[in-house]
A and B are shown apart, each in its own frame.
Chain A
Amino acid sequence: MTQWTFEPWVILPMAISAALFVVGFARLKARSEHGLGALKRRAVLFALGWLVLAGAVVSPLHEAGEHAFTFHMIEHELLMLAAAPLLVASEPLAIMLWAVPASGRRALGSATKSPAVAVPWRTLTDPLIATVVQSAALWLWHAPALFDLALEHEGWHIAQHLSFLVSALFFWSAMFHRRNSAGVAAACLFVTSLVGGALGAFMAVSVSPWYAPYAALGMTPIGLSPAEDQQMAGLIMWIPGGMFHALFALGFVGSMLRDKREASHAHP
């Protein structure tokens, strides 16, 4: 279980994204006289998100997930709850854009404003739609038939991880976007906390394993039976997963209350 996973479908996009960010960052830094602090902060967030992503899908954790559901769950939680929000908070696309030549940058910039890109982007980063999509991805992929498929076929496994990561990226983009109100973000985060927490709770109280490939493995390397392994995975999704969304929601409620207090001080 100490084997690193160097699959081209993982390494290649990660290397390209890192290269684009580094080149874009260097060019922007050379041109920036002001706002260097904010740029550096975004670089730190991107580096952290990228490292967490690598820790989830490249480090031995990925291989361990093949032998124990608990590790697989930790991998999913890292993708959706750590890597995705950190990457979104770093707002990497604007920086990566600077990695391409000026003509390409202009072309890409105008392409993002075209309805073909702007409309799907606005739709998928709408807080309610993003919440529904992420919750649907979470529940559908944990249905035994689909999860078994992902465990047995590498292609479906890639599709599962991509769905989790991409839906989480849209979800956190919706939560952090300035156009969306803090109240709506808080409500979506509370709902996500309940929806994810409920799935985890079902796993945690289930007395029989849901997924045939894990059940067939017998005792896990950490000494848990398949049912106990699933209960542990369910607890990870339920408690830390649910708490994470709930704490973020409380943060948004706090900022909403602060805004109200400031507004009432400004207009007594």
Chain B
Amino acid sequence: MAERSARRELFDRWAGLILGPLVWWIHQRMVADWQAVDCHDMGVAGRSIWSLLLIAVLAWACWASLNIWRRWGPREAETDNWRFIALVSAGVAALCGLAVFFGALAAVIVPDCLQQ
């Protein structure tokens, strides 16, 4: 049980740093490469649902990392470093969430298929 909790804590700490760029990359592949360049039409609803889902994943990652940052007490050399990583992780998740949001906005505003 304790091992599982430690593993979960380890994942939560790095969640934003791992999921942030990964989700941003997936979204970029979807709306820019797959839709705009290769012209696979997902429709506005499809694009919006996928974008919202991916933003929700990043919101969760941000929240999980932020929780780790909040939970640990400050000023102990080792935990202070882990807290710092958790804070950076939450920040990266938030930034990538913003990037996905703008990507989603672009997918609504700019033409569906750039080859047309």
Contacts and interface: CB of A to CB of B under 8 A. Distances in A.
B10 interface: no
B106 A194 contact: no
A205 B37 CA distance: 12
B43 interface: no
Nearest to B95: A190
Given A207-B111, A264-B77, A268-B77, A194 B102 contact: yes
Interface in A94-128: none
Contacts of B109: 202, 206
Contact of B110 (A187, A194, A206): A206
Interface in A229-268: 260, 264, 267-268
A85 B95 CA distance: 23
A183 B111 CA distance: 37
Given A205-B110, A207-B111, A260-B84, A194 B77 contact: no
A194 B87 contact: no
B52 interface: no
Contacts of A89: none
Interface residues of A, number: 16
Given A264-B77, A268-B77, A194 B99 contact: yes
A183 B95 contact: no
B98 interface: yes
Contacts, number: 37
A201 B106 contact: yes
A198 B106 contact: yes
B77 A267 contact: yes
Nearest to B90: A187
Contacts of A190: 91, 95
B29 to A, nearest CB: 16
Contacts of B81: 260, 264
A191 interface: yes
B105 interface: yes
Contacts of A267: 77
Contact of B98 (A194, A202, A207): A194
B82 to A, nearest CB: 12
B87 A191 contact: no
A190 B20 CA distance: 14
Interface in A181-212: 183, 187, 190-191, 194-195, 198, 201-202, 205-207
Interface in B65-94: 77, 80-81, 84, 87, 91, 94
Contacts of B77: 264, 267-268
A205 B110 CA distance: 7
Nearest to A256: B84
Nearest to B103: A198
Given A205-B110, A206-B110, A198 B105 contact: yes
B110 A202 contact: yes
A194 B84 contact: no
Given A194-B99, A202-B109, 17 more contacts: A183-B87, A187-B94, A187-B95, A190-B91, A191-B95, A194-B98, A198-B105, A198-B106, A201-B106, A202-B105, A205-B106, A206-B110, A260-B81, A260-B84, A264-B81, A267-B77, A268-B77
8 contacts: A187-B95, A195-B102, A201-B102, A202-B105, A205-B110, A260-B84, A264-B77, A267-B77
Identify the 6 closest CB pairs spanning chains A and B, nearest first.
A198-B102, A205-B110, A194-B98, A190-B95, A187-B91, A194-B99
